[in-house]
């Protein structure tokens, strides 16, 4: 809503509030017009005034649920009101209502102002929304006849007001220490803007602080009672010196619209576990760096947390809660244009779990020391060693020393190198621990050298947004990590922890690898193939957004594949899964993300199945069920041969053909051998015949010779 429309809305809201207060007052019916006697007594100036209907029913006791005006100044803004029904008598202006008169304005310059019980013979029973606006009084005393006051706090425009008193005998109102309450002190109605003192303890028994009650006060500290259940609209709006608000011990169930609007010094707020709703713009313009939202909260209004008073988001704001909570939803829905993309939006706030938020608070509360040369900022830990917080060096080659100012560096604190311009970073062998996000968004980092002494790298994605990373090398042994060919593993190389994002070509896992860690290859846009045939577990997002990956060789012993494991691997057109796979997470295979071409959702990213993708599986296996449930094409009856999935039927036919050919060959060979034997036998018979004939001839010749 632009400012001109906003102003028009405010003016309209003011007129509605002026002429229809009863609609907001506990849903009571509208009051009848005043009697002619009351009208005559009021001595209207014209006949038209005499015939005009009086103000409708007053709001309920002291502060009903009137709608707060949607404006920046709220109670401080000079809002145009319909004064046509007002009657002026001396320093007072009033309107006639059924029960008596309602004070609408005052021009008195008295420092101690006593409101009369009656004016022009009519009993003062109600105080209107602007009754004391601009009045310079330091003390205002209300008569016992007053039954109602406007929910918009008629004292909010009294800048010099220090004390409010109520005359004896009042049943509807009371005052204590200059603060105005209803009769039984269950509702705090007004805390004077200029009241003496910088702190205040709200009495036990107060269960509601009404709209605008503390608006614009210079108070810096407030103690809230356990009885408190509700705060009204803009109840603390403009309390620019309020430094903290510990509501954790209260029974609050709701914080209304703009309750702490423009509390610019507010650095900490603690919310109770009873809270279920936080209204629109409740903490807008407050100085809060972060907010921890209880799991009991189910509704968080628009711009309730993390916004400056002009309505722009504070992108350094941190909101914490549980996964799946209203806090996470709120954080995800607050977006800003992403400067690194064309028209896309990114999340405006950082969302943390309650545990992460506690760690963050510990991080923010660390005492820091700047090295004598000014190059490093560090903290002294409880064991007397140093934790490196950040470096002021702008060199592309960062070689962190093992000692700073004579103190041994044993840890790298979270976010230490975040957004660094360094291309090479070397961590000394005295370091055993590296905090979460220490290398986050180091977009120029190419080579990272870690010590063999390192025992722990915190965080799920320690190298997130390190898009230029070519190698991670572990120098030495004895710690929890090892490396090979620039890839980071755990100490025995059974788990792949991180493949550098800018590393090109093919990856072949060592035979020792049994597990692919979460996001181990995520966003590796130049990875073309991966042989992970020894791994039995592939964790969530392991190969997320590997756009060039076209070939993956999986293990026959693979048992589980995590959610999004191969999501958005556009070039991957198929995988072979074996029967030992038991679980496959959502979007693990076959899904890609692309920009919508629909005019109504132009620029939005949509998830779809890659039409070119196939899963080579056995029927009724976990892989087959995953694919058929999602409409992904399956190919069954194949076996892998030299990286290709070959049809079993083809193999059978091929084998039969080969067998027939072999048998034929054998038959031919056997036939040729038999023929040869017959020929040899025939020749032998011929030779034998010839020999017999020769022997017979010789015998005959010998016989004749003997004769």
Instruction: Report how far residue 245's alpha carbon sits from residue 243's, in angstroms, rounded to the nearest whole number.
Output: 7
81 plus 117 within the same structural domain: yes
Q: With 0.75 as the threshold, say if the pTM is over it.
A: no
> What percent of the chain is helix, strand and coil (3-state, nearest 5)?
20, 25, 55
Whether the predicted pLDDT of 339 surpasses 80 = no
Lowest mean pLDDT among 81-95, 144-158, 493-507, 636-650: 636-650
Within-domain flag for 707: no
Query: What is the span of the domain harbouring residue 344?
Result: 197-365
Whether the predicted pLDDT of 576 surpasses 80 = yes
Query: Which pLDDT belongs to residue 520?
Result: 98
404 plus 495 within the same structural domain: yes
Within-domain flag for 311: yes
Give Cβ neighbours of residue 333 (< 8 Å, ≥ 6 apart): none
pLDDT tens-digit map of 682-699: 777 777 777 777 777 777
Confidence of residue 516 (pLDDT cuts 50, 70, 90): very high
Instruction: Report how far residue 20's alpha carbon sits from residue 55's, in angstroms, rounded to the nearest whole number.
Output: 8
Confidence of residue 33 (pLDDT cuts 50, 70, 90): very low
Query: Which pLDDT belongs to residue 625?
Result: 97
Helices first, then strands: H and E counts in the chain? 7, 54
Query: Which pLDDT belongs to residue 598?
Result: 63
pLDDT tens-digit map of 181-215: 999 999 999 999 999 999 999 999 999 999 999 99
522 plus 622 within the same structural domain: yes
- For residue 516, give the nearest of 475, 488, 556 by alpha carbon: 488
Whether the predicted pLDDT of 426 surpasses 90 = yes
**What's 563's domain CATH number?**
3.80.10.10
Reported residue count of the chain is 707
Lowest mean pLDDT among 31-40, 258-267, 531-540: 31-40
Percent of the chain topping pLDDT 70: 82
Query: With contact defined as beta carbons under 8 Å apart, do 131 and 104 qualify?
Result: yes
Give Cβ neighbours of residue 137 (< 8 Å, ≥ 6 apart): 108, 110, 111, 112, 113, 158, 160, 161
631 plus 648 within the same structural domain: no
430 plus 550 within the same structural domain: yes
Instruction: Report how far residue 60's alpha carbon sits from residue 629's, in angstroms, rounded to the nearest whole number.
Output: 60
Query: Which pLDDT belongs to residue 84?
Result: 82
Instruction: Report how far residue 519's alpha carbon sits from residue 533's, in angstroms, rounded to the nearest whole number.
Output: 18
Whether the predicted pLDDT of 88 surpasses 80 = yes
Within-domain flag for 691: no
Query: Which pLDDT belongs to residue 703?
Result: 75
Beta bridge partner(s), residue 481: 490
Give Cβ neighbours of residue 535 (< 8 Å, ≥ 6 apart): 496, 509, 513, 514, 515, 516, 554, 555, 558
188 plus 205 within the same structural domain: no
Answer with the residue of higher pLDDT: 353 or 650. Answer: 353
188 plus 207 within the same structural domain: no
614 plus 660 within the same structural domain: no
- For residue 70, give the nearest of 219, 248, 218, 281 by alpha carbon: 281
Most confident of 63-72, 327-336, 584-593: 584-593
Using left for φ > 0, alpha for ψ between -120 and 50, and beta otherwise, residue 199 falls in beta
Query: Which pLDDT belongs to residue 153?
Result: 86
Residue 349, token pair as written in the block: 């706030």
Residue 528, token pair as written in the block: 């073309």
Confidence of residue 61 (pLDDT cuts 50, 70, 90): very low
Residue 453, token pair as written in the block: 């002494």
Pairing of strands 537-538, 560-561: parallel
Whether the predicted pLDDT of 603 surpasses 60 = no
HSE at residue 591, side-chain half, CA atoms within 13 A, is: 21
Whether the predicted pLDDT of 175 surpasses 70 = yes
Average pLDDT over residues 254-263: 96
3 plus 76 within the same structural domain: yes
Rg (CA), the chain: 43
SS3 289: coil
Average pLDDT over residues 65-69: 36
Within-domain flag for 402: yes
Query: Which pLDDT belongs to residue 549?
Result: 98
Q: What mean pLDDT value characterizes the chain?
A: 85
**Chain centroid to CA 48:** 60
Instruction: Report how far residue 256's alpha carbon sits from residue 233's, in angstroms, rounded to the nearest whole number.
Output: 5
Within-domain flag for 615: yes
Residue 162, token pair as written in the block: 């220090």
Whether the predicted pLDDT of 405 surpasses 50 = yes
Within-domain flag for 386: no
Select from 588, 619, 640 the last residue of a domain. 640
Average pLDDT over residues 116-127: 96
Confidence of residue 55 (pLDDT cuts 50, 70, 90): very low
82 plus 118 within the same structural domain: yes
Whether the predicted pLDDT of 50 surpasses 70 = no
Query: Which pLDDT belongs to residue 45?
Result: 36
Neighbours of 385 (CB within 10 A): 18
pLDDT tens-digit map of 635-663: 997 766 555 565 555 556 666 667 767 77
Query: Which pLDDT belongs to residue 691?
Result: 75
Lowest mean pLDDT among 156-160, 259-263, 422-426, 440-444: 156-160
Confidence of residue 53 (pLDDT cuts 50, 70, 90): very low
Query: Which pLDDT belongs to residue 6?
Result: 35
Query: Which pLDDT belongs to residue 156?
Result: 82
416 plus 504 within the same structural domain: yes
CA distances from 679 to 674, 687, 690 (A): 9, 12, 16
Within-domain flag for 295: yes
Give Cβ neighbours of residue 283 (< 8 Å, ≥ 6 apart): 259, 260, 261, 263, 266, 269, 291, 304, 305
Query: Which pLDDT belongs to residue 71?
Result: 37
Confidence of residue 275 (pLDDT cuts 50, 70, 90): very high
Q: Is the dihedral of CA 221, 227, 229, 230 positive or negative?
A: negative
Confidence of residue 277 (pLDDT cuts 50, 70, 90): very high
In the numeric block, the tokens 């503390």 are attached to 214
Select from 174, 195, 216 the last residue of a domain. 195
Select from 346, 365, 384 the last residue of a domain. 365
Average pLDDT over residues 299-311: 96
CA distances from 342 to 166, 207, 412, 603 (A): 63, 51, 35, 9
Confidence of residue 240 (pLDDT cuts 50, 70, 90): very high
Query: With contact defined as beta carbons under 8 Å apart, do 179 and 192 qualify?
Result: yes
Lowest mean pLDDT among 34-43, 282-291, 465-474, 483-492: 34-43
Confidence of residue 60 (pLDDT cuts 50, 70, 90): very low
Query: Which pLDDT belongs to residue 602?
Result: 54
Within-domain flag for 90: yes
Task: Please provide the DSSP assignment of 140-162 as one string.
Answer: EEE-TT--EE-TT-TTTT-TT--
SS3 41: helix
Query: Which pLDDT belongs to residue 68?
Result: 35
Neighbours of 275 (CB within 10 A): 21
Residue 397, token pair as written in the block: 């080659």
pLDDT tens-digit map of 357-375: 887 777 777 889 999 999 9
Query: Which pLDDT belongs to residue 374?
Result: 93
584 plus 455 within the same structural domain: yes
Residue 152, token pair as written in the block: 């918009």
Query: Which pLDDT belongs to residue 10?
Result: 35
pLDDT tens-digit map of 130-161: 899 999 999 999 999 999 998 788 998 899 99
Whether the predicted pLDDT of 340 surpasses 80 = no
Domain count, the chain: 4
Q: Is the dihedral of CA 429, 435, 436, 441 positive or negative?
A: negative
Query: Which pLDDT belongs to residue 655?
Result: 64
Whether the predicted pLDDT of 64 surpasses 70 = no
């Amino acid at each position: 809503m632009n400012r001109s429309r906003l102003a028009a809305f405010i003016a309209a809201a003011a007129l509605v509030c002026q002429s229809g207060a009863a609609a907001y007052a506990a849903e009571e019916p509208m009051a009848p017009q005043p009697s002619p006697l009351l009208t005559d007594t009021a001595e209207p100036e014209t006949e038209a005034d005499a015939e005009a209907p009086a103000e409708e029913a007053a709001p309920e006791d002291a502060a009903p649920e009137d709608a707060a005006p949607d404006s920046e100044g709220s109670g401080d803004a000079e809002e145009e009101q319909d004064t046509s029904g007002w009657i002026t008598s001396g320093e007072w202006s009033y309107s006639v209502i059924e029960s008596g008169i309602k004070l609408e304005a005052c021009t008195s310059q008295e420092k101690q102002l006593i409101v009369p019980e009656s004016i022009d013979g009519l009993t003062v029973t109600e105080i209107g929304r602007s009754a004391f606006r601009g009045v310079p009084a330091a003390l205002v005393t209300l008569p016992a006849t007053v039954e109602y006051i406007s929910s918009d706090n008629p004292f909010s425009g009294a800048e010099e007001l220090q004390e409010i008193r109520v005359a004896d005998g009042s049943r509807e109102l009371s005052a204590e220490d200059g603060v105005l309450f209803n009769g039984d002190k269950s509702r705090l109605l007004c805390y004077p803007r200029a009241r003496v003192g910088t702190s205040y303890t709200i009495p036990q028994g107060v269960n509601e602080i009404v709209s605008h009650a503390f608006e614009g006060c210079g108070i810096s500290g407030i103690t809230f009672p356990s009885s408190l259940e509700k705060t009204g609209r803009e109840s603390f709006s403009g309390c620019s010196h309020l430094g903290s608000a510990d509501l954790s011990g209260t029974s609050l169930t709701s914080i209304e619209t703009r309750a702490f609007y423009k509390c610019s010094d507010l650095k900490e707020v603690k919310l109770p576990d009873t809270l279920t709703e936080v209204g629109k713009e409740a903490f807008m313009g407050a100085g809060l760096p972060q907010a921890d939202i209880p799991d009991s909260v189910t509704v968080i209004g628009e711009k309730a947390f993390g916004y400056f008073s002009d309505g722009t988001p504070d992108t350094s704001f941190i909101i914490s809660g549980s996964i799946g909570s209203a806090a996470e939803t709120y954080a995800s829905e607050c977006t800003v244009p992403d400067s690194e993309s064309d028209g896309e939006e990114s999340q405006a706030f950082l969302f943390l779990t309650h545990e992460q938020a506690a760690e963050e608070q510990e991080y923010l509360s660390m005492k820091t020391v700047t090295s004598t040369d000014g190059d490093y900022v560090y903290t002294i830990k409880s064991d007397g060693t140093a934790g490196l917080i950040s470096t002021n060096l702008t060199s592309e080659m960062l070689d962190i020393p093992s000692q700073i100012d004579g103190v041994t560096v044993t840890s790298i604190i979270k976010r230490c190198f975040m957004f660094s311009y360094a291309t090479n970073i070397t961590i000394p062998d005295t370091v055993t621990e590296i905090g979460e996000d220490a290398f986050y968004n180091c977009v120029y980092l190419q080579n990272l050298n870690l010590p063999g002494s390192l025992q722990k790298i915190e965080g799920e994605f320690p190298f997130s947004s390190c898009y230029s990373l070519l190698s991670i090398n572990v120098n030495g042994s004895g710690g929890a990590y090892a490396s090979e060919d620039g890839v980071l593993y755990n100490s025995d190389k059974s788990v792949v922890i991180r493949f550098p994002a800018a590393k090109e070509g093919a990856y072949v896992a060592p035979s020792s690898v049994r597990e692919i860690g979460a996001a181990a290859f995520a966003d590796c846009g130049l990875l073309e193939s991966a042989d992970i045939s020894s791994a039995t577990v592939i964790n969530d997002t392991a190969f997320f957004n590997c756009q060039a990956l076209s070939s993956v060789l999986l293990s026959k012993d693979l048992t589980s594949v995590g959610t999004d494991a191969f999501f958005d691997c556009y070039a991957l057109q198929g995988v072979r899964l074996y029967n030992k796979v038991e679980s496959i997470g959502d979007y693990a295979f076959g899904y890609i993300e692309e920009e919508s071409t629909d005019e109504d959702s132009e620029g939005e990213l949509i998830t779809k199945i890659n039409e070119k993708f196939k899963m080579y599986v056995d029927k009724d296996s976990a892989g087959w069920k995953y694919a058929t449930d999602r409409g992904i094409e399956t190919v069954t009856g194949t076996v892998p041969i030299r990286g290709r999935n070959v049809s079993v039927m083809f193999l059978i036919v091929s084998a039969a053909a080969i067998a027939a050919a072999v048998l034929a060959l054998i038959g031919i060979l056997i036939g040729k051998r038999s023929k040869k034997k017959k020929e040899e036998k025939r020749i032998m018979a011929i030779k034998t015949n010839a020999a017999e004939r020769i022997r017979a001839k010789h015998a005959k010749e010998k016989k004749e010779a003997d004769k």
